[in-house]
Amino acid sequence: MPSPYRWVIVGLGGLMGCVAIGAMFSLAVLLGPISAATGWSRAAISSAMTLDFLVMGFAGFAWGAASDRLGTRVVVLTGAIILGAGLWLASRATSPLMFQLGFGVFVGVACGAFIAPMIAAVTAWFDTQRALAVSLVSAGMGMAPMTMSPFAAWLVSHYDWRTALAVLGCLAWVFLIPAALLVRQPPRTDHATAAAAMDAGRPVPRVKAALLSVPFIVLGMTFFLCCAAHSGPLFHFVSYAITCGVPMMAAVSIYSVEGLAGLGGRLLLGVAADRLGVKPVLIGGLFVQSLAIQGYMLASRQSEFYLLGIVFGTAYSGVMPLYAVLAREYFDQRIMGTVFGAAIMLSSVGMALGPVAGGWIFDTYHDYRWLYLSSTAIALAATAVAFTFPPLPRAQPKAVAT
């Protein structure tokens, strides 16, 4: 009988993702106040988020290997300590370089310790309802815009950006250190023992061949372009909405609505993919994402921003779990971590482009329109690349582990 503690692991994964990703994305709320208080350019400040995504993508590989050797608890506990330290260091920064070190490097390294290791831990606990469990962990991460972002906005409205970051760092320690200590390895079951014996009788697929295959190239390119398209509009949305005359707290609330819509989007597109197929649903979601990004350029009223926030949040969040589903459809479970880790690294590079590009565009043109135009074009390119996915393999018991 499955252990009920597996749902505790799911809750811990969602909590850790919410706090860690929320702390990282708090920079979207703090961008304007930091620039106004320090005189630093938005490009310099935004580059910290670019570093976050780059460092997080590469660090994820190292943390994943460490969790295999040392266990998940040690990895997430170390990540929790580093996250709080990075936020505190950023709050003490006296130059853009020091800020980029604290917020860009330390926070990026720390966030990489939570996503892949905790998702891997959850999949180890579940023989059934595995997709639901992973989706719930992902949904926990999606709670960040509805919780951490409004809290960061409240802090910076009542105090200053340095106090806000210092409080977020302490909050990370208070929530994540106890949560990390509750993480356990799954109990050994007869099913797990039998599965391991069955896998041992088959050769492990070659990782190099998988990473050079057409399915992975298409998967990686689509994932990269998708994230490159929405990262800029997502990160700079609060600042963009304010330039359009939307009050700060209203802009943050719209940002939170995007996150809430994203929770529904993950469920909606996941159910649709089970019924209609992963590829058509992914293509449809990517196309809707491109329309929503373009729509922000045409919005002028607050109600229009809320409507677009719902559509954009549903689309960009809804497609994200589909990449893992596609990876599992094309590749053997025994190399799933490596293959999907490589895909996540490519997506992290895509996510890294938007913040710094948007900051440079605003500093150069004092307008965000070119950001939204270029993001629309990239989103349409992602849609076009997704059409080139080869047919999904059908039942292949000898080639694909089940």
Residue 90 in domain: yes
Q: What is the model's pLDDT at position 344?
A: 79
- 284: part of which helix (H) or strand (E)? helix 278-298
Q: What is the pTM of this model?
A: 0.71
C-alpha count within 13 angstroms, C-beta hemisphere, residue 210:
23
Tell me the residue range of the domain where 320 lies: 205-402
Residue 137 in domain: yes
Residue 191 in domain: no
Taking CA atoms, 60 is separated from 32, 73, 109, in Å, by 29, 15, 8
- Mean pLDDT, consecutive 10-residue stretches, the chain (402 aa), reads 83 91 87 88 83 84 75 91 94 92 92 82 71 74 78 89 93 94 78 49 68 91 93 83 82 81 82 82 94 87 88 89 78 69 82 82 84 92 94 54 35
Q: What is the model's pLDDT at position 107?
A: 93
Same domain, 153 and 223: no
The C-alpha atoms of residue 256 and residue 269 are separated, in whole angstroms, by 20
Q: Name the one residue in this structure whose structure tokens are 């469990």.
A: 133
Q: What is the model's pLDDT at position 292?
A: 92
Same domain, 75 and 173: yes
Q: What is the model's pLDDT at position 382?
A: 95
Same domain, 257 and 156: no
Same domain, 94 and 213: no
Q: Which of 186, 221, 244 is the last residue of a domain?
A: 186
Same domain, 19 and 154: yes
Q: In degrees, to the nearest 5, what angle opens at C-alpha 216 toward C-alphas 210 and 222?
A: 170
Residue 270 in domain: yes
Q: What is the model's pLDDT at position 1?
A: 62
206 CB neighbour count, 10 Å cutoff:
10
Report the CATH number at residue 160: 1.20.1250.20
Same domain, 45 and 84: yes
Q: What is the model's pLDDT at position 8?
A: 92
Same domain, 162 and 29: yes
Residue 194 in domain: no
The DSSP secondary structure of 117-161, one letter per residue, reads HHHHHHHHH-SSSHHHHHHHHHHHHHTHHHHHHHHHHHHHHHS-H
Same domain, 132 and 218: no
200 CB neighbour count, 10 Å cutoff:
8
Q: What is the model's pLDDT at position 186?
A: 80
| Both structure tokens of 22 | 């929320």
Same domain, 125 and 17: yes
Residue 200 in domain: no
The number of distinct structural domains making up the chain is 2
Same domain, 103 and 244: no
Q: What is the model's pLDDT at position 188?
A: 65
Same domain, 83 and 27: yes
Residue 197 in domain: no
Q: What is the model's pLDDT at position 242?
A: 84
Residue 199 in domain: no
Same domain, 216 and 177: no
Q: Which of 154, 186, 218 is the last residue of a domain?
A: 186
